[in-house]
Amino acid sequence: MQRLGKRTSPHPAKRGNDDPVPEGEGIAALVKVREVSPPVLPTGRLALGRVWSGERLFPYLMVAPATAILLLFTLYPTLFNLNASLRDISVYNFTSGAHRFIGLRNYEVLWRSAEFWAATGATMLYVVASVTIGFLVAFGLALVLQHTPGLRTLVSPFLLVPLMATPAVVALAWNQMLVSELGVVNYLLAQFGLPTPPWLGATPWPLVTVVLIDVWQHIPFMFFVLLAGLTVLPDEPFEAAAIDGAGAWDAFRYLTLPLLQPVIMVTLIFRTMNAFTSFDVIYVLTGGAPGTGTEILNLFLYRKAFKAFEIGQAGAVAVAMVILTALIGVALIRLMQREETV
Amino acid sequence: MILFDGGWTPSLKIMLEKYKADQGVEVVWDAPPLSGFYQKQLSLMLAKERTPDIISSNDTILSQYAGSGLIEPLGELLADKSLAGEYNWDELAERTRTAASWSKELGQQGGVYGLPFELATWGYFYRSDLIEKPPETFAEYLEISKKFTRSINPSSPTQFGAAAHAKQLPPQYKEWYAWMWAYGGELFDDKLNPTMNGPEAVKSLEAFYGLLLEHKAMPPDTATYSDTEKSAAFQNEVVPHVMHWAHQWSVYGDKEKSPKIADKVKFTMVPGMPGPGGQVRRVPYAQQWMFGLNPNGQNKKEAFKFIAWLTGPVGMRAWVEAGWNSPPRPSLLGDAQLKAKHPSFAVTDEAIKIGRYGPTFFKEYAQIADSKLLPALSQVLAGSQTSKQALDSVAADAREILTSAGY
């Protein structure tokens, strides 16, 4: 009989050497547990009635509202957009309904559009730079603060601030701080005799600026997720490695990184998808300028929809963005799965 | 009612309260920021929402709304005295009335779609302690700008000689239009052929943006300057002069809002270019904001009654007395008592006689200006295209848009 209060690992491998193995346990017993009886499939009218009544109906009822909302607010707009992307819809014929089905013409126009490819290039640059820089800084911070709980307690509230701020407000605040001659950032740099870059001026500074602001705003998310992952890593492998004489770098390279890999991949996937949705900060800060240097796909879509009023083409941009993000998402997930099997 | 939060906000709130007290009708005002206003209003109209009853439009987008069936024609309501009351349409200047109208056929007398409540024109603001005599011509304006640029003239009291709104929003091209028209350029000819890439227009853009690209006489981040940054540069003595809406006098001349320059600032008409007979050809940009009706609104008569009162002679005078500084009615702009209170009235009154609106007679203008001209101007500022290349590409795009629209 197990004594109350005595901690016993549910996994046989983790039991102490002195723990008795109960009769019938071991690998065979574990395998046996998995031999579950197959579900009895209902037959006939009586059985059908049993499925759609009582306890079996309850779960469907519970998920029905969420499913309905999902269909209404996600599936319907998606299908609507897909349909719009195949029509010559503009602001001029939207309400009259006098628009025609034009097949893939909008996609063809997009494919031949230098502006679309420029926006795609700017988006890729922006996403890769934001996610990479943000990840490196957040991971570094998490590694440093993992073993310094006092400092962590002190720093964490400040790290939360960018995450809680509204993007448009963030953009306005940074705009005031970065504007040449009047902004505090260049004033401080000048005080220390440092160069004062035209943060929102000549190419490529505006793109650098919006990347840095995005990094600043999203470091906390990556930091807290990675820190949570680091704090739940098991101690045993590290202790064993230390006994075997492994240095800090070896422990990081051969233990921390592989063990944390699923957390890292999830963080990168979420952050990449999030970076693709950027709009507010860039729209307020640069509006896509100078030229189209900071016009990422979201801003290009906005220009198509609300400045050119070419709703069909904007729909095609949206579909292209979905395909692009899906491809990147699938690639990242595949990478994660491959790493897990190695 | 939907209208973005702007310079009219404090005085308009007073007027809404007054209407509620006098008529017992409450007008609920949705006032999004300008940055999201067009998108929000257009989305509501495309979705055929029943509210708001009252929508707002400037002269640039009125033809688009009217040509797309997104705004109600007001002719019949205006003719109904029981609704229009004392509204005096004929008092408005002819070009103000034209900009509030639209016709499906080019060159035809259009129907009325908007009741104007704001008439704004560009003025020239300068520091009188630095600039003794305001420039008559853009050549003089360029010389003054260079003189007050420290990298050109190390003893300059200001860092830069000029500031402009160059963020990709409509004021960007509106500022350039004053240069282009004065240089003799045109956006379109009489047959609607794009001519914005003509030699005069190209020359005007080269001169204007040459201030940044060639002379470094503008702040380096001008490409992302909106009116806010432009005003801040003037208010904080970074530049000695700006071209801006005349009604900005209420900001630059106010000691609380502009403590560093309020005592020194003066304003007058925008510069021009030497014209025939030695006259200076000045062409300040003019624009107006108007109230219109949602075609799907459920309270059209009540809504019209309100906007006719608010923009009519009685309501508009009360509005000006409540603090509004850009009325479109000549009787108010010329009123000596009001002129004393609002010095910008004198400039607006004069500017409207010689100023110009953007093209308001075809519905594709906003599309061409906002989606083609703005990025092209920004490309010039970024140095990635010359003025000629950028304007050629706008002309080609404009031609394609107009051709596919059947012009």
Summarize pLDDT for A116-148 with one digit per residue, the tens: 999 999 999 999 999 999 999 999 999 999 989
Contact state of A92 with B160 under an 8 Å Cβ cutoff: no
**Where is B292: in which H helix or E strand?**
strand B286-293
Q: Which two tokens stand for residue B192?
A: 């609607």
Neighbouring C-alpha atoms within 13 Å toward the C-beta of A107: 14
With CA atoms as reference, the chain A residue closest to B67 would be: A92
Contact state of A95 with B48 under an 8 Å Cβ cutoff: yes
- Cα–chain-centroid distance for residue B53? 24
Q: Min CA distance, A207 vs chain B (Å)?
A: 12
Contacting residues of A for B296, CB less than 8 Å apart: none
Task: Supply the angle between the helices B199-213 and B374-382 in degrees, to the nearest 10.
Answer: 50
With CA atoms as reference, the chain B residue closest to A284 would be: B35
Q: What is the CB neighbour count within 10 angstroms for residue A29? A: 13
pLDDT for res A20? 45
Contacting residues of A for B370, CB less than 8 Å apart: 307-308
With CA atoms as reference, the chain B residue closest to A293 would be: B382
Contact state of A94 with B46 under an 8 Å Cβ cutoff: yes
Q: What is the CB neighbour count within 10 angstroms for residue B230? A: 27
Per-residue pLDDT for chain B (407 aa), expressed as one digit of tens each? 999 999 999 999 999 999 999 999 999 999 998 888 998 999 999 999 999 999 999 999 999 999 999 999 999 999 999 999 999 999 999 989 999 999 877 666 679 999 999 999 999 999 999 999 999 999 999 999 999 999 999 999 999 999 999 999 899 999 999 999 999 999 999 899 999 999 999 999 999 999 999 999 999 999 999 999 999 999 999 999 999 999 899 999 999 999 999 999 999 999 999 988 889 999 999 999 999 999 999 999 999 999 999 999 999 999 999 999 999 999 999 999 998 888 889 888 888 888 999 998 889 999 999 999 999 999 999 999 999 999 999 999 999 999 998 88
Who has greater pLDDT, B13 or A342? B13
**Where is B242: in which H helix or E strand?**
strand B241-245
Average pLDDT estimate for A161-174:
90
| Residue B115 near residue B57, CB atoms below 8 Å | no
pLDDT in tens, A245-280: 999 999 999 999 999 999 999 999 999 999 999 999
pLDDT for res A63? 92
Contacting residues of B for A306, CB less than 8 Å apart: 38-39, 42
Q: Which two tokens stand for residue B153?
A: 């003239």
Name which of B61, B148, B168, B377 to mutate to probe chain A: the one with the most chain A Cβ atoms within 10 A of its Cβ.
B168
Q: What interface predicted TM-score (ipTM) does this complex get?
A: 0.86
- Cα–chain-centroid distance for residue A40? 41
Closest CA to B333 of B317, B347, B349: B349
With CA atoms as reference, the chain B residue closest to A282 would be: B224
Contact state of A203 with B220 under an 8 Å Cβ cutoff: no
> Binning pLDDT at 50, 70 and 90, where does residue A52 land?
low
- In sequence order, which residues have a C-beta less than 8 Å from that of residue A82 and are 6 or more positions away? A315, A319
Q: Nearest 5°: CA angle at B242, between B236 and B246?
A: 110
CB pairs under 8 A between A and B: 120
Cβ–Cβ contact A309 with B under 8 A = yes
**Where is A48: in which H helix or E strand?**
helix A44-51
Q: Which two tokens stand for residue B364?
A: 């594709």
Q: A74 phi and psi, to 5 degrees?
A: -120, -55
Cβ–Cβ contact A67 with B under 8 A = no
> Binning pLDDT at 50, 70 and 90, where does residue A59 land?
confident
With CA atoms as reference, the chain A residue closest to B159 would be: A181
Contacting residues of A for B222, CB less than 8 Å apart: 201
Of residues B219, B224, B385, nearest to A181 (C-beta): B219
pLDDT for res A8? 38
Measured in residues, chain B has a length of: 407
Cα separation, B382 vs A225, in Å, equals: 39
pLDDT for res B360? 84
Cα separation, B205 vs A330, in Å, equals: 48
Cβ–Cβ contact A94 with B under 8 A = yes
> Binning pLDDT at 50, 70 and 90, where does residue A49 land?
low
Buried b (16+ CB within 10 A) or exposed e, B246-274: bbbbbbbbeeeebeebeebbbbbbbbbbe
Contact state of B67 with A288 under an 8 Å Cβ cutoff: no
Alpha helix (H) ranges present in B162-226? 171-183, 199-213
**Long-range pairs, B12-19, Cβ under 8 A, ≥24:** B12/B319, B12/B324, B14/B322, B14/B323, B15/B310, B15/B315, B15/B318, B15/B319, B15/B322, B18/B318, B18/B322, B19/B306, B19/B309, B19/B310
Q: What is the DSSP letter of B164?
A: -
> Binning pLDDT at 50, 70 and 90, where does residue A4 land?
very low
Cβ–Cβ contact A121 with B under 8 A = no
Buried b (16+ CB within 10 A) or exposed e, A221-238: bbbbbbbebbeeeeeebe
Contacting residues of B for A204, CB less than 8 Å apart: none
Cα separation, A89 vs A318, in Å, equals: 14
With CA atoms as reference, the chain A residue closest to B42 would be: A306
Q: Is A303 exposed, middle or buried (0-12, 13-18, 19+ CB in 10 A)?
A: buried
Chain B residues with CB-CB distance to A under 8 A? Answer: 35, 38-39, 42, 45-46, 48, 64, 67-70, 159-160, 166-169, 219-224, 229, 232-233, 236, 238, 363, 366-367, 370-372, 374-375, 378-379, 381-385, 405
Contacting residues of B for A91, CB less than 8 Å apart: 42, 46, 64, 68, 70
> Binning pLDDT at 50, 70 and 90, where does residue A25 land?
very low
pLDDT for res B106? 66
Contact state of A307 with B42 under an 8 Å Cβ cutoff: no
With CA atoms as reference, the chain B residue closest to A285 would be: B224
- Cα–chain-centroid distance for residue B335? 23
Looking at every residue in chain A, the average pLDDT score rounds to 85
Cβ–Cβ contact A210 with B under 8 A = no
Cα separation, B304 vs B16, in Å, equals: 14
pLDDT for res A38? 52
Q: Is B337 exposed, middle or buried (0-12, 13-18, 19+ CB in 10 A)?
A: exposed
Closest CA to B123 of B40, B221, B24, B245: B245
Contact state of A291 with B382 under an 8 Å Cβ cutoff: yes
Q: Which two tokens stand for residue B73?
A: 């024609």
Cβ–Cβ contact A263 with B under 8 A = no
Q: Which two tokens stand for residue B137?
A: 């011509």
Q: What is the DSSP letter of B27?
A: P
pLDDT for res A51? 56
The fold for domain A110-341 equals MetI-like fold (1.10.3720)
Q: Which residues pair with B281 in a beta bridge?
A: B273
Q: Min CA distance, B57 vs chain A (Å)?
A: 15
Cβ–Cβ contact A304 with B under 8 A = yes
Contacting residues of B for A281, CB less than 8 Å apart: none
CA distance to A68, A79, B380, per residue, from A326 (Å): 24, 17, 36
Contact state of B64 with A91 under an 8 Å Cβ cutoff: yes
Q: Min CA distance, A306 vs chain B (Å)?
A: 6
pLDDT for res A48? 54
Contacting residues of A for B219, CB less than 8 Å apart: 179-181, 201
Closest CA to B73 of B98, B45, B101, B32: B101
| Residue B261 near residue B252, CB atoms below 8 Å | yes
pLDDT in tens, A173-229: 999 999 988 899 999 999 999 999 999 988 899 999 999 999 999 999 999 999 999
Of residues B35, B64, B159, nearest to A181 (C-beta): B159
Q: What is the CB neighbour count within 10 angstroms for residue B318? A: 18
Of residues A91, A290, A303, nearest to B223 (C-beta): A290
Q: Min CA distance, A167 vs chain B (Å)?
A: 14
pLDDT for res B222? 93
With CA atoms as reference, the chain B residue closest to A203 would be: B382
Query: Which amino acid, residue B194?
Result: P
Cβ–Cβ contact A182 with B under 8 A = yes
Alpha helix (H) ranges present in B247-343? 249-252, 300-311, 313-321, 330-333, 336-341
Q: What is the CB neighbour count within 10 angstroms for residue A333? A: 13
Three-state secondary-structure class, residue A226: helix
Contact state of A199 with B64 under an 8 Å Cβ cutoff: no
pLDDT in tens, B185-215: 999 998 999 999 999 999 999 999 999 999 9
pLDDT for res B110? 78
Cα separation, B236 vs B257, in Å, equals: 11
Closest CA to B115 of B81, B72, B171, B52: B72
Closest CA to B227 of B250, B249, B243: B243
pLDDT in tens, B270-301: 999 998 888 999 999 999 999 999 999 999 99
Contacting residues of A for B166, CB less than 8 Å apart: 289
Cα separation, A65 vs A67, in Å, equals: 5
**Tokens 């219109």 label which residue?**
B292
Contact state of A303 with B371 under an 8 Å Cβ cutoff: yes
Q: Min CA distance, B271 vs chain A (Å)?
A: 27
pLDDT for res A335? 83
pLDDT for res B278? 84
Q: Which two tokens stand for residue A294?
A: 């900071």
Q: Is A279 exposed, middle or buried (0-12, 13-18, 19+ CB in 10 A)?
A: middle
pLDDT exceeds 80 at position A12: no
Contacting residues of A for B61, CB less than 8 Å apart: none
> Binning pLDDT at 50, 70 and 90, where does residue A18 land?
very low
Closest CA to A290 of B390, B384, B228, B171: B384
Contact state of B223 with A180 under an 8 Å Cβ cutoff: no
Sketch the domain layout of chain A as residue ranges. Answer: 110-341
